[in-house]
Structure formats: C-alpha cells, structure tokens
Amino acid sequence: MSAHSPAAAHALPQLPKAPTGIEGLDEITEGGLPLGRPTLICGSAGCGKTLMGIEFLVRGALEFNEPGVLMAFEETAPELAANVTSLGFDLTDLQERKLLRLDHVHVDRSEIEETGEYDLEGLFIRLGYAIDSIGAKRVVLDTIEALFAGFPNQAVLRSEIRRLFHWLKEKGVTAIITAERGDGSLTRQGLEEYVSDCVILLDNRVIDQITTRRLRVVKYRGSTHGTNEYPYLITANGISVLPVTSLRLDHAVSSRVVSTGIPALDDMFGLRGYYEGSSVLVTGTAGTAKTTLAASFADQICRDGGRCIFFAFEESPAQLLRNMASVSINLQAHLDAGRLLIEAARPTLNGLEQHLVTLHRLVKEFRPTAVVIDPITNLITVGNLNEVRSMLTRLIDFLKVNGITALFTALVSGRGLQQEMTDEGVSSLVDTWISVRDLEGVGERNRGLSILKSRGMAHSNQVREFLVTSHGIELLDVVLGPTGIVTGASRLAQQMQERAETLAVQQEAERRDREVERRRRVLEANIANLRTEFESVEEELRQISANEQSRRQALLSGQQRIAAANPPAPGAPTAESGQ
C-alpha cells in the first residue's frame, strides 16, 4: 500500500485498485478490488465464493503477473485443483511456476484440545511464509469462519482475526476473505465488522424454479461503484458478471441499409430496407408468419454475404429448416456454407442471464452481421416482465454497440395483456417496428402488415395484405374498396367487380366509336350526294352559260355580216340603230 500512496497523494486521490480479471466485475467496481486491502465476499452455499476467490488468484497470476496464496479451510489442495479444472484453471501448473501457493488448513474440533492461552500465530507464520516464498500480491482466505468450528474460544479467535486482517493490510496484499451468509447479517460470524473496505455479496435465488445468481457491492470504501444487483454466471470460462450495459448511448451508427428479404416490403421503406446495426421488432398474433418474415431476413443477410445467428426458442433447427424450405427459403445452403447458425433452445433451459451469456459468447465467436431472435416473448416464461425488459435492453444495447442488425419477433395476443410487453417493454428500444396481424373479415382470416415506426426513414403508412406462398412472402397491391382497404375474398370480389366495370366501360367506348363511325359514314354519304347534286347544277348552269355565249356569238357574227352588206352612212351609228 505504501508504495502507492505517493501517487495517490498527488493527483486526484484515486484509490489504487487491483483488477480481478473477472468478466464484468472490474466494470462494476470501477477497476477492481481495493489494492492492498482485504475484501469480504459473502454468500450462501453454492454461490461461487471459492470460485471467485480462485479466479481472482488465477487471473492475477496469469494476466497481471501477481502471484497469489490460497489458504483453504474447507477443501484440500487436490480437491480444489480438481474442482476448477473444468474451468480451465490448472492450479498444479501455477504452483509449479511459483505463481500460486495452496495451503490447506485442517481444522478439526475433535483433534484440538485447549489447554490454556494461545494465539493464532501459527496461521500468521504459515501465511507469511507462503506469501514471502513466492512474493505473493494476492491472498484468498477461503472461509476463515471454519476456525470458529475448531476453536471454541471466541474472544481469542475474534481478536486474532482482527489482527490477521490488520496484518494483511500491513503486508500490502490484496486479500479476499470469503464467508458464509448468516441470518440477518452478512456473515455468520459478523466478519463484516473487521473487513470494512469492500464487501461483495453473492446471492443465489430460485424464482419460479429458475436459479439466478446475483452480485452486489454492498460497500466499497473510498470508491464509487455500481450499486445494483448484477446477475452473474458461472460459465465454462469462470465467473461472468453481467452485463455490463454501457450506460451511455454513444454507439456509432451506419447509414447503410440492409434489405428485409422481401422486395415488396423493401418498397415500403423509404431507403428500401433496415439500417444496418438497427434493431427491428416484428410483432404479431399467432400464425401471422413472423418466423417466415424473420427467416426471409436471415436468408437475405446470408445471400448478401453476411453472417447471421438465428435463435429459435420455439422450433428445432430441423423443423425450422423444413418449414422454411416449404416457402422456398433455403436456409440449409447457408447453414452448409457456414454463414448461418441456428441456436435452438427452450427458453426455460436456463435463466435469462444464461441466455444472454450464450448470446454474447456466440456473437463473439461467430461474428455475425445480423441476429434474429424468434421470439423474445417466450423468454417471459423465464423471468418476469421487468427482468425480460432489462435483459432485452442489455441485449439490444450489446448488439447495437457491435453494429449488428437485430430482428426480434414478439407474440402479442390481440388486445390482450401482453400488448404492454411490446408497448412499454421493447418498442421504445427498437428502431423499426413492423406489425403483422390478422385481418379477420367475413368468414376468413387474412394477414396484414404495416410499419408502425421506422426511425430515420420514410415509410409507407399502408396496411398491406400479404400471402405466404410457396415462393415466400408476397405482398399484394393495395386494393381500395368503398370502405377502405379490402383484403381476401372481398379483395377478389372487388377486383372482379372492377374488372367487370372496366369491361363495361371498354364496351361502351367501343360502341361509341362505332356510332361515330356510322355517323361519319352517313355524313360522308350526304356530302357525296350534295356534291353530286351540286355538280349537276353546276353542269346545268355551265350549259346555260355556254348556250348564251354561243347565241351571243352567233348574233354578233350575224350583225357583222349585215353591216358588211350595208355600209353605214358616214357618221351614223348604224349598229346601234340596227339593234
């Protein structure tokens, strides 16, 4: 500790911390456990106290190069080593590399006879020797309370334990002391009185037959810390405290768009698809082809060269493949190509947190560009609404931060109670919300699809009817009837009626065309008549005029002849007088 105090004295008084390396715990404690001080971890049986202690040591040794000492009061060294082998911790190897020392303290009441005054100096010497022999920086005392079973003299024990913790502080080792949870107090023996720097409480609760482990930092002197109860899990890689949602909304966004997998649905969006990295919710009542919509999307992602994880909470992979093949969505090909991963599990298989961890792990391993969860509403069988909501918040957050497009389906029961689930629960978290529902008319049921919202993108306001055909989902064109949009049989009726009307109109037009033609022909005939008549009149008139002309000609020539025969008297206008 003293080595760190100069640094702490200068800059802001930051408490020096020892990172645990345990997933999530360092985030909650904002850096780790208080360096050089003891931390109390208490919890009931089966919480993973010992495991947390061992992981603290193993990670310290492997990741932070801090050797550690484990003093176990309950389990022997071989037992401990065997117990944590399944988590990939090789204690024997660490011991050989002088990164770890195990010391099993055997306490047996029947073997101990108190014969006078004593102290626990033996323990101190053992621990001191172990620490010095490998230069340990970390110490775990696993259930020191076992001493209370072996030594009846409580007064001595308490003062010695107090002295031990003080001594550990002086040694400057970061220590974890585990203790069993007591009734009404944090620990059975009230150890929290002695360890006052940091207390972490582990809890193991069974609600509705499903176990969830939770962790809470009860106190952390000199540091801020997350105050909530955080679920944690014991996974194949050790303890994983979850999760750690980023509390800020500062993830990067993409303006690229991915197709929905259904061309006609693309058309309903202004940019022809969903934004990459956004979250999409498809809600609908039972049997409204939510899964098919989801599968179309997954199919499209894979065909565009992306990778997709499909979490199926209702169907087995084989069933899903078969059903989707029936609507010409060939997921098998993508599965074979390694682009698609179908993870099917019953929601009740494990707690919400386990699902979340599975998802985290798969996302990390598979690196998908899109994730489909079908349906999220099934998770409600596992937890209550609040828990599901907080899990989904974390999930959506996690996916968004990683830029993964997410599509969730959710079952709603009409105007039932669960409508709230989507209204309050997730809808505010998702960017795009598509609603599919039954449009129940007279004697039939049709499926309608509409976009309730799509953040940052223009979208159609229409309710489109769609059909699930053997070629996939087909959106039908909007048919407007006298009372609005019509669907199903009334759509057909409407279409037939329209067709009949069109035909009638066409026939009417043709009839009118013929009438015009007829008129034209009549008129033309009339015109021809008139022209003929005119021609004959003209002919007659021309005849008369020609006759007149010839008559005048004849007259004129006659007069000339007369004049030639009778020369005129000089100066007498004979011609006129002759007329």
Partner 1 sequence: MDPFTDPLAPPEPASPEYVLHLFITGATPNSTRAVRNIKDICEQYLKGRYELLIVDIYQQPDLAQREDLIGVPTLIKRSPGLVRRLVGDLSDWPRVLKALGITPSGDEATPDEATPYE
User: Which residues form the interface with partner 1 (CB under 8 A)?
Assistant: 103, 105-107, 111-123, 125-126, 128-130, 147, 150-151
| Least Cβ distance, residue 144 to partner 1 (angstroms) | 11
Other CB atoms within 10 Å distance of the CB of residue 504: 10
| Nearest to partner 1 of 147, 293 (CB atom) | 147
Q: Please report how close the Cβ of residue 105 comes to partner 1 at its closest, in angstroms.
A: 6
Residue with Cβ nearer partner 1 (26 or 160): 160
- Nearest alpha carbon to residue 60 among 100, 98, 5: 100
CA distance 289 to 282: 10
Report the C-alpha gap between 562 and 578 in whole angstroms: 9
Residues sharing a CB contact under 8 Å with residue 572, sequence separation 6 or more, in sequence order: none
Nearest partner of 292 among 262, 336, 333, 332, judged by Cα: 262
Nearest to 323 by CA among 285, 286, 295: 295
- Give just the sign of the alpha carbon dihedral 503, 505, 509, 512: positive
At 534, which amino acid appears?
A: F
Minimum distance from residue 148 beta carbon to partner 1 (Å):
12
In the complex with partner 1, which residue's Cβ is closer, 81 or 123?
123
Q: How far apart are CA 258 and CA 275, in angstroms?
A: 6
- The CB-of-15 to partner 1 minimum distance in angstroms stands at 32
- The label of the residue with tokens 């195990």 reads 102
Residue 76 or 413: the one with the smaller Cβ distance to partner 1 is 76
Closest CB to partner 1 among residues 175, 331: 175
Nearer to partner 1, 152 or 270 (CB): 152
Q: Min. distance of Cβ 119 from partner 1 in angstroms? A: 6
Q: Using an 8 Å Cβ cutoff, are 214 and 205 in contact? A: yes
Tell me phi and psi for residue 39, to 5 degrees: -125, 135
Quote the least distance from Cβ 104 to partner 1, whole Å.
Answer: 8
CB of 133 to partner 1, least distance (A): 8
Tell me whether residue 118 or residue 534 sits nearer to partner 1 (CB atom).
118
Residues in the chain: 579
**Residue reference for tokens 């003891």:** 38
450: Cβ contacts below 8 Å, ≥ 6 apart: 434, 435, 461, 462, 463, 464
* 186 Cβ neighbours under 8 A, 6+ residues apart: 40, 42, 179, 192, 199, 201, 218
Residue with tokens 């069933």, as numbered in its chain: 319
Taking the complex as a whole, the smallest distance from the CB of residue 150 to partner 1 amounts, in Å, to 7
Name the residue nearer to partner 1 (CB basis): 159 or 384: 159
- Shortest Cβ distance from residue 118 to partner 1 (Å)? 4
- The SS3 assignment for 229 reads strand
- Which is nearer to partner 1, 108 or 477 (by Cβ)? 108
Rounded least distance, CB 152 to partner 1, Å:
10
Scan for tokens 């989801």, then name that residue: 294
CB of 165 to partner 1, least distance (A): 16
Dump the DSSP string for 132-157: HHHT-SEEEEETTTHHHHH---HHHH
Strand partners, 436: 284, 449
Q: Which is nearer to partner 1, 82 or 112 (CB)?
A: 112
Identify which of residues 64 and 151 has a Cβ nearer to partner 1 in the complex.
Answer: 151
Pairing of strands 308-312, 370-374: parallel
